[in-house]
Structure 1
């Protein structure tokens, strides 16, 4: 009897998780959240993406992957999230948050989901400066400052 209740509870929790999951898709240079456009996206190359605000057309986020000047050694690679309008940079080598095997578009979709989950981006594609400050405190590893050149 207890197993049935536990199974029923687990299914209920799982169904709520699927119900409240937001769908993020990048299609035709548009960032769509549950089918509604919230940002413009521009793929610069395999390791750089720019995201633009819909209202002002300002570039609000530049994603750039850095190889730390060691092209063949990948263990020291990191990425920079440059929130241009807020003048905030976040550097991290935690690719697990955004990695999608050899598919930069899927990686950027995971990045947007992460920013939405952390409430750095609102559902309307606006930056939340208060949440951005918390995000920087949580995830910035300040790699450039720690790297000897």
Structure 2
């Protein structure tokens, strides 16, 4: 019985490993399984842009917002501005972007792209799906700026 359980567990984990898509940022390009799907630009430590390969249009601007409290991270949030659909998502779901201890921009942005692929916001060719962008907005947007007084 133990051998059967172990065999099934190994089979399931190997199948999920085979289906995992490899996302890498290299030479200012986002690669999916080695194929370029987007152009990437790191503006600074907290801002990153993604561009269409075909049109060179900026399709996504990512911002990390520390809520003007540098020493306190509990109120930090992310802003995903889907420029071509004119949809802006403000979310405290930072765990979808943080790829470990510290702010390793490249790894964080790779994790962001994996999240967007998983949610089908972008497809395997780097195209935005407007319906899925709206679903993503409905699912994750928290209107942080609107409900925060300054």
User: TM-score, length-normalised on structure 1?
Assistant: 0.96
2:76 maps to 77
Q: What residue ranges of structure 1 are gaps of 5+ in the alignment?
A: none
2:124 maps to 123
1:50 maps to 49
Give the whole-Å Cα distance in 2 for the aligned partners of 1:89 and 1:132.
Answer: 9
| SS at 1:9 equivalent | helix
2:15 maps to 16
Aligned-pair Cα RMSD in Å:
0.9
Give the whole-Å Cα distance in 2 for the aligned partners of 1:68 and 1:43.
Answer: 20
| More divergent stretch after superposition (37-46 vs 62-71) | 62-71
2:90 maps to 91
User: TM-score, length-normalised on structure 2?
Assistant: 0.95
Equivalent residues, number: 148
Give the whole-Å Cα distance in 1 for the aligned partners of 2:53 and 2:65.
Answer: 27
| SS at 1:85 equivalent | coil
Q: 1:69 deviation in Å? A: 2.3
Give the whole-Å Cα distance in 1 for the aligned partners of 2:94 and 2:21.
Answer: 21
1:29 maps to 28
Q: What residue ranges of structure 2 are gaps of 5+ in the alignment?
A: none
Give the whole-Å Cα distance in 2 for the aligned partners of 1:6 and 1:131.
Answer: 37
Q: 1:15 deviation in Å? A: 0.4
